[in-house]
Chain A
């Protein structure tokens, strides 16, 4: 990335709010506005407002849009009802994960695929390469949308002040077009924080007006602007994977404990999809002789494990690797997600440590997530 970082439609807003900015996947994004810990707590207890305009939107349309996506992705995308969304993945022929995605079915013959910023081009290229022979069109809509998210228990109340859309009827992982604060939006109820919340896809030219309206509507509920730093600790507590950390081309969905996203029973395209054979073998391997499993680790001390640190036994034998780690504001202790040899991956396994810059710190093996909201 030698180009100057891209700026979202809300760039001036972030700077006016005094955000600490960071380069993220070629975008200049807010890392935090004040204290990342306070932002984290706000989302857990009240509400937070995020700019996620770096995410990559790709629109797929046409009579065979569903068939194309069924072939290109691991999920049963043709089975998604209009107005609903699905968490899915796109894999290499060898089964390695190219990206994890959310796919919205906007109409019978129209889907929006949302890719991670760092993978948007990869996903676009893979979809294009896999589109041969399908009566469907793929459109790069990255510049067509700004994306704002309101996350946290107060988010439904805040949004209701600004829209007549039927939010109560909007289920988790659904999306509907509507008007919010006078702005045309796709209103989706998804999130990456472990809390209830909404993501609003709007024209970039409407982003500032919507941000300001949400800020005003959330003032009494304690809504605060939130950066990517707290987003990372929120998703970590919620046990949600992050591409480049838990998910890479070296891992299959089964390695990551997310085999459920692969639908071998889909019938479109004669049941064929990219990666099918390799993933069937990976499913078998995960069932019988799993190499490593993705687990949670909770610190007994106060030192924070980081991605790449070795997981070791007390005598220093390497039994795994940390993929994400951070101090958990909710638990009050450092936590990590790690790939650990199956023999040591059962929750409660004794004698598991993380090598933190040379010292072996004891950790408790636990199931994910670390945090689950009370519904």
Chain B
């Protein structure tokens, strides 16, 4: 399992891409997807809604359980991934690519996001 170096990570197991035109992409890590098992339902925040770092903004449902989805940053939802809503298995098969969840226009960061190496150490601990 490798976590892409160019991404940053939260302790709730979200990843955050670098901003393009002020907008960053968010998904969950491969580690989180593996822990969930087969994801069968994804509930995402609405485009235009405001999210806050560390607060629930949706949910991910797997065969065995349901987990809250958190935003790693403060901001406004710019886009959601309709493909993953229609085919939640993308979260398992391509968590860092086609299984991305939403794009967010960042208004603030909590300042505790981890690098790929720090996140790898965090999930080992």
How many chain A residues touch the partner (CB < 8 A)? Answer: 16
Chain A interface: which of B6-14, B60-68, B110-118? B60-68
B residues in contact (CB < 8 Å) with A: 34, 37-38, 40-41, 59, 61, 63-64, 66, 89, 92
A124 CB → nearest B CB, Å:
30
Taking the complex as formed, is A137 at the interface, i.e. its CB lies under 8 A from any CB of chain B? no
Q: Given the complex of chains A and B, what is the CA–CA distance between A184 and B40 in angstroms?
A: 42
Q: Is the CB of A233 within 8 A of B40?
A: no
A140 CA to B71 CA, complexed, in Å: 52
Chain B residues with CB under 8 A of A31: 37, 64
Q: Is A203 an interface residue (CB 8 A)?
A: no
Bound: A303/B37 CA distance, A: 16
- Shortest beta-carbon distance, A294 to chain B, in Å? 22
Contact across chains for B63 and A229 when beta carbons are under 8 A apart: yes
Nearest-CB distance from A365 to chain B (Å)? Answer: 22
Chain A residues near B41 (CB, 8 Å)? 302-304, 327
Closest-by-CB residue of A relative to B35 is: A20
Looking at chain B's contact residues, is the secondary structure mostly helix, strand, loop, or mixed?
Answer: mixed
Contact flags A196-214 to B (C-beta < 8 A → 1, else 0): 0000000000000000000
Using CB atoms, name the residue of chain B closest to A228: B64
**Chain A residues in 8 Å Cβ range of B64:** 31, 36, 229, 326
Q: Are B38 and A35 in contact (CB under 8 A)?
A: yes
Q: Are A37 and B66 in contact (CB under 8 A)?
A: no
Q: Is the CB of B66 within 8 A of A36?
A: no
A32 within 8 A of B: yes
Taking a contact as CB atoms under 8 Å apart, the answer to whether A36 and B63 are in contact is yes
A35/B92 in contact, CB under 8 A: yes
CB distance A306 to B66 under 8 Å? Answer: yes
Q: Which 4 A-B pairs have the closest CB atoms?
A: A327-B40, A37-B38, A302-B41, A36-B63
One of B37, B61, B89 near A304 (C-beta < 8 A): B61
Number of residue pairs A-B, CB distance < 8 angstroms: 37
Interface string of A293-305 (1 = CB under 8 A from B): 0000000001110
Interchain CB contact under 8 A, A32 and B66: no
Given contact pairs A36-B38, A326-B63, a sample of 7 additional A-B residue pairs in the complex whose CB atoms are under 8 Å apart: A36-B37, A36-B64, A229-B63, A229-B64, A303-B61, A304-B61, A327-B41
Question: 20 A-B contacts, Cβ less than 8 Å apart?
Answer: A20-B34, A20-B37, A31-B37, A31-B64, A35-B38, A36-B63, A37-B63, A37-B89, A229-B37, A229-B63, A302-B41, A303-B61, A304-B40, A304-B41, A304-B66, A326-B64, A327-B38, A327-B41, A327-B63, A357-B66
In the complex, which of the residues A32, A302, A334 contacts B37, with contact meaning CB atoms closer than 8 Å?
A: A32
| Residues of A that sit less than 8 Å from B by CB | 20, 31-32, 35-37, 229, 233, 302-304, 306, 326-327, 334, 357
| Residues of chain A lying within 8 A (CB to CB) of residue B34 | 20
CB A310 to nearest CB in B, in angstroms, measures 16
Question: In the complex the two chains form, what is the Cα distance from A334 to B66 in whole Å?
Answer: 13
**Bound state CA distance, A303 and B89, in angstroms?**
15
Residues of A within 8 A of B89 (CB): 37
> A38 vs B63: C-alpha distance in the bound complex, in angstroms?
12
Name the CB-closest residue of A to B43.
A303
- Chain B residues within an 8 Å CB radius of A327: 38, 40-41, 63
Residues of A within 8 A of B59 (CB): 357
Chain B residues with CB below 8 A from A20, complex form = 34, 37
Most buried by A among B41, B61, B64: B64
Q: Which residues of B contact A35 (CB under 8 A)?
A: 37-38, 92
Among residues of A, the one whose C-beta sits closest to the C-beta of B59 is A357
Tell me, in angstroms, the Cα distance from A302 to B89 when the chains sit together.
13
- The distance from the CB of B59 to the nearest CB of chain A, in whole angstroms, is 8
Using Cβ atoms and an 8 Å threshold, which residues of chain B touch A233?
63
Residues of A with C-beta under 8 A to B38: 35-37, 327
Residues of the B chain whose Cβ atoms lie less than 8 Å from the Cβ of A302: 40-41
How far is the CB of A336 from the nearest CB of chain B, in Å? 13
Please measure, in the bound complex, the distance between the C-alpha atom of A37 and the C-alpha atom of B63, giving whole angstroms: 8
Residues of A with C-beta under 8 A to B61:
303-304
